[in-house]
Amino acid sequence: MYQPFVDNSAAGAIFDPKPQPSQIYVAKFHRKMSKFLDNNPTHTIEVAWCPSHCNIKGNDRADELAKEATQLAWNAPISTSRAFALRRAKASTQAAWVRDWQKAPRKGRFAISNRIPPSLNPTKHFITLKDQREVFGRLVQCRTGHAYTGEFRKQFFPEKSTNCGCGVDPQTREHTIRECTHYENPRINLREQYRELPLPELMGTPKGITALADFLKDSGAFTFTGTKHTPKEPPSFHDEPEPPDIDSEDDDSDAD
């Protein structure tokens, strides 16, 4: 009887060699297992689970060998696993993107915010605000400079006023965040974290972006009206208009 011990439930895939990550290793083990069983009807195999990282000598030794094997991936006679190839491709893409980002000149309205290296994974503030789309939208508009401000209207809608609601002209991101009298109370919490309210920090660092998102949440900054956003109540069934009485209309037309 042959009884290997494994510390993960995925090892059960050796009995089902269908397309999957590490398929080439699964298929190889499956062939050897089948040959072992076919050679002698008394042969049996039982795969058993054991807990990992519990000072089990055999398991710890297996972990050491597995780590050593990852260093041989480039020279392995059976090439590399699908999972390793995907990780390598992702890492290569990430590295190339960061290199291009580092070489690219910082210009435009987003330049002041463009301080965080690009990533293939969602950012922390995206995950935090995924259920607050309105706040996340204003945050993106503020960081990119495409927000409800006078400086934006001046370029794209020159016929419209560029004044801030407090009377300052032109209305800018800096004025809205640091000076506008309409947002003095929400700004108190922001100043507790950033006394001088530096825009590069507020719009270009993870900590600053989190603080800026809280400021936007507590204020009406960068909304169309400049007032705090109030979510609309979804319509109820009782608010739906009554459908027209088609039969009555048909009767009227027949009478005519």
Tokens of 219: 């204020």
pLDDT at 212 over 90: yes
Q: Enter the pTM of the model.
A: 0.64
99-150 pLDDT, tens digit per residue, is: 999 999 999 999 999 999 999 999 888 898 988 999 999 999 999 999 999 9
Q: Where are the domains of the chain?
A: 5-81, 124-218
98-110 pLDDT, tens digit per residue, is: 999 999 999 999 9
- The answer to whether the CB of 200 falls within 8 A of the CB of 178 is no
